[in-house]
Amino acid sequence: MPVVVLTPALIRDAQCPPGKTKIDYYDVHLKSFLVEIRPGGKSFYLRYRDAHGTLKQKKLGDASVLSLAEARKLATKLKAQIQVNGHDPVQTQKTVRSIPTFETLVREHVLPYVQQHKRSWTSDRSHLEHHLLPAFGKLHLDTVKSPAIMAWIKEKEAAGYAPATLNRMLGLLSWIYKQGAAWGIPGCDHNPAQAVPLFRVNNHREVFLTEGQIAKLMQALDDSPNRELRPFVALSILLGTRKNELVRAEWSDVDLERKLFRVPPERSKNGKERLILLSQTALAILEGLPRNSTWLLPNPQTGKPYVSFYHAWDTARKQAGVPQCRWHDLRHTAASLMASQGVSLYTIGKVLGHAQAKTTQRYAHLTDEALRQAMETVSAASGL
């Protein structure tokens, strides 16, 4: 390991001695800066010790590309960073090379985790498969930038996606980076979704379908190529269930003899079991369903619960003239139908599985209207 005055001429003329794999020439002026001579080429390096005292060697570049002056300047800068800031260029390079793509993080860590720990995992998977993975899947985690996310969101907004849906996508993207950081996944230390502002959403918007609108929707569903969608919609209205409570339902949750539909704790939003009494109409629908699966309404293509049937649903609601109706509005419709018939708010809350009474208060004006109609009936009958 000769220590010499490194010059461009020395580097140009230096040769690897016969019988050796390499020879290193150290610079007399800059300690630990060297040029490595091999039969196949010449390269500049900087040797240093990391915070643990381990000797490491960082390649600065090929001598056929990098000049001696450029290599010495780079070595001086790196050496200062190592001594002052404890910077470890070799470890940094290893970390960068170990940063996975967004898709790798999702497939290997996120999806297994949400399936085990989140009740909304089917919704998360749908957003990932149809939106986030096509946009960012091939990118390494550290290359997903806030401007790219904002441009993508703008495209989704122009395509007609609702602000609440866009916020859920952004929230999921941000959560993935936060969770990745908690897992120690390289590339998740900076969360690019945090710099993207959320949309302002009016969460109190609700749609209650009228009897006529329900009839039109059922007719549109009769014409749909998705034959499972009609019983899905009908049961959602008749039972007042949340989407996931019905999509993940199994035949073991149905007791036709006792006329009960069970929502187990793991699918209930408040984590409590809920029993819903089945009407004769709901019983007739259930009795007419095939019993060729453990799932109540499986996807006939996969035999498993549906991940998404958005396009069939979107087509049907537009044909029925209610494009503003969201799937959750079927649950609101069930509540409005009960309220319009004078059912108490307490009973409505029990059927829907509301954890707090104030959640059911949104239907108070509907029960008031039913009472008002009842009193008008008394008035008309009295002849006064």
Q: Is residue 147 part of a domain?
A: yes
Q: Say yes or no to pLDDT of 355 above 70.
A: no
**pTM here?**
0.49
Q: Is residue 205 part of a domain?
A: no
Q: Is residue 60 part of a domain?
A: yes
Co-location of 313 and 357 in the same domain? yes
65 vs 381, higher pLDDT: 65
Q: Is residue 269 part of a domain?
A: yes
State whether residue 19 is helix, strand or coil.
coil
Co-location of 166 and 222 in the same domain? no
Least confident of 93-97, 180-184, 310-314, 356-360: 356-360
- State the chain's mean pLDDT as an integer: 87
74 vs 346, higher pLDDT: 74
Encoded tokens for 218: 């059922």
Domain that holds residue 285: 211-380
**Residue finishing a domain among 97, 125, 145:** 97
Q: Say yes or no to pLDDT of 377 above 80.
A: no
- Per-residue pLDDT band for 382 (boundaries 50, 70, 90) equals very low
Encoded tokens for 171: 């929230």
Q: Please give the helix or strand (H or E) that residue 76 lies within, else none.
A: helix 68-85
∠ CA 312-317-321, rounded to 5°: 150
**Residue finishing a domain among 97, 117, 143:** 97
Q: Is residue 275 part of a domain?
A: yes
- Per-residue pLDDT band for 125 (boundaries 50, 70, 90) equals very high
Question: What's residue 341's pLDDT?
Answer: 77
**Residue finishing a domain among 137, 171, 195:** 195
CATH number at residue 71: 3.30.160.390
Q: Is residue 203 part of a domain?
A: no
Domains held by the chain: number: 3
Is residue 282 within 8 Å of 238, Cβ to Cβ?
Answer: yes
CATH number at residue 351: 1.10.443.10
Q: Is residue 200 part of a domain?
A: no
Beta strand 254-255 pairing with 260-263: antiparallel
State the Cα–Cα distance between residues 6 and 25, nearest whole angstrom: 8
Q: Is residue 32 part of a domain?
A: yes
**SS3 labels along 243-307:** HHHHHCCEHHHEECCCCEEEECCCCCCCCCCEEEECCHHHHHHHHCCCCCCCECCCCCCCCCCCC
Question: What's residue 360's pLDDT?
Answer: 62
Co-location of 231 and 326 in the same domain? yes
Co-location of 243 and 353 in the same domain? yes
Co-location of 219 and 350 in the same domain? yes
Average pLDDT over residues 285-298: 92
Count of Cβ atoms closer than 10 Å to residue 327 Cβ = 16
